[in-house]
Structures are given as structure tokens and as C-alpha cells.
Amino acid sequence: MNIAVRHPINLRYIIETDVSKKIRLCGCRTSHCTDQALFAFPTESHTFLSSIIGRVSHKREKFAAQFVPEIKSWNRELQELESGNYKFINPAKLARVISEKANPNAVIVGDTGNITVWLARHFRAKGGQRFLFSGGLASMGCSLPGGIGASLSTDRQVISVVGDGGLAMTIMELATVKKYNVPLKIVVFNNSKLAMIKFEQEVMGYPQWGVDLINPDFSTLASAYGIEALKIDSNMEIQEAVDAMLKSNGPFLLEAIVDPNVKPMPPKISLEQAEGYLIASLKERIGYKPEIELNQ
């Protein structure tokens, strides 16, 4: 149980509900957790709000206003990233198009790796949408089985977004999708690499090593299971392909060949990271082989 591990919960204004009772029963650290404070207000929401309105001080300063320039600057930066042209598909652009076309109440199940970055930054979430990630354990391969579970539990549109490395770990679940005719939409960002590991190695000064993947043709494999599938490899195909996927009534797998050299840049680059990446780039350019060093 991790509730209130770092900071005690203030239960002063929590209504007497099962939630408040369970928090106390868990033995979590709390502040202002006397019976009088906890149960001072009735459970009817309108009565509760009327009771506390005089106790809440008005915030005169426009707190959000100070962040508006930064938000606008960040959005401009994202738009520049999304408009970039590469040899293959720009993953930032693909994530943005999916966000524009997904239903307002869609459930988005994201995997772990670079795909997490593309979704977190370039998917413009709508108020009724639900996002599922492996935020604690960061488990690769979670989005396909997670998407199946979500799709079986709701009538809402469910989209699993996964990288090729993650999909390879749970690809057998395509049989489950077909067996139960789960109307899941699966988008595979295929760059034939464990790309986040690649960039983690490089910012530490190491040339990429052991991150290349030998992938099947995921769209052909899905078709072999009897799942409708499509494969694209250019930005020009994104709009039409995403439309086709979302209009399908049954399960659908969209395989997108994304450029492996698009970098998931951190919000702020440290001098050490820049130096490490430069060193790694030079080593890669001269054909340096890490295994030579390992064998010495």
C-alpha cells in the first residue's frame, strides 16, 4: 500500500464514504483525521459544498496565467516535431493523427518504451477519454492484453498503441483477439529496434548495442490469424490508414514503419547527456564495436 507514504493525506474535507473509511483502515498516515473533522459534513454533495464554501479562501491570483506563455511555446515545439519529414513515418505525427481521429470517449492503452513518449506528448487528450499505461512497473507488452481486457469490459472504442519490441513479447494474444472477435484496434510503431534502450545507451556515451530486432511482418501475421490488417511506411498514408482502422467494426492491426532515428528528447538536456550522445555518435560513425572492449 503506497497511499500517503511520502506525505500524509489531509482528510479534513473528505465526505464519509467507503473511500474515506478504507483509507483509515489501511493504516495510512493522515493529518486532521479526527472523527469530528472527518465526519463533520453530510454525504449529500450539494449540502457538503454549501458547508465548506465559507472555509475555502478565494485565490485572487490567476495561477494558471503564468504558465500560458510556456504552454504556447511547448505546443509550438510539438507542432514542429510533428511536421518533421523523415525517411519513414514520423512517430510524433502518427500519434497526433490518432488523437485527432479517436472517439471523444475512447480508451487508449499505451505500451512501454518510446511509444510512451509519443503518446504522452503528441496525443491531445479529450475530457472523456481514458488512458491506461504500465506506469509503475513499466512492463513492455502490456498494451495488447490490456487492450483486450478493456475492450471486453466496455462498448467504447479501444485502441492499443504498442512498439514492435513490446508487441513481440505478447503477440500470441492475437489468437485471443480472433477467438473472441474483440473489436480492438492495434497500432504498431515498428522501427525494428528497442529504441528507448538505444538512446539510453547513447546518452551515456555507449554506441547502440544489442537493440536491433528481427521482426516478422506484423500485418501479415495478423492476417494469418484472420484479423484485418494494413501496413504503411510514409507520412502520406497516415490519415487514410487511421480512418480505415477506426471505421472497421472488428479487430484491426495497423503496422506503421516509423523512422528509428527520431529521438525521444528529454524536456531538458544536460551537458553530460549531450557529451555522451556526441561520443556515442562518433564511435558509431567509425564503426566501433562494443564487443571488442568486452573481450579484452
Q: Which residues contact 12 (CB under 8 A, 6 or more apart)?
A: 31, 32, 37, 38
DSSP state of 58: P
Q: How far is CA 127 from CA 106, 131, 149, in A?
A: 10, 11, 22
For the chain, domains (ranges, CATH) are 9-55 (no CATH), 86-283 (3.40.50.970)
* pLDDT of the residue at 155: 95
Residue 157 Rama label (left phi>0; alpha psi -120 to 50; beta): beta
Q: How far is CA 142 from CA 78, 133, 146, 158, 170, in A?
A: 26, 8, 6, 14, 8
Distance CA 109, CA 161 (A): 6
Q: Which residues contact 48 (CB under 8 A, 6 or more apart)?
A: 15, 41, 42
Distance CA 269, CA 278 (A): 13
159-186 burial code (b ≥16 CB/10 A, e <16): bbbbbbbbbbbbbebbebbbeeebbbbb
Query: Bridge-partner residues for 230, per DSSP?
Result: 254
Distance CA 139, CA 93 (A): 25
Query: What does each of the 296 residues of the chain score in pLDDT, given as a tens digit?
Result: 454 555 554 544 444 455 555 545 555 544 444 444 434 444 566 677 777 777 766 666 677 788 889 889 989 999 999 998 888 999 999 999 999 999 999 999 999 999 999 999 999 988 899 999 988 888 999 999 999 999 999 999 999 999 999 999 999 999 999 999 999 999 999 999 998 888 888 888 888 888 999 999 999 999 999 999 999 999 999 999 999 999 999 999 999 999 988 888 777 778 888 888 888 888 888 877 666 555 55
Q: What is the pTM of this model?
A: 0.75
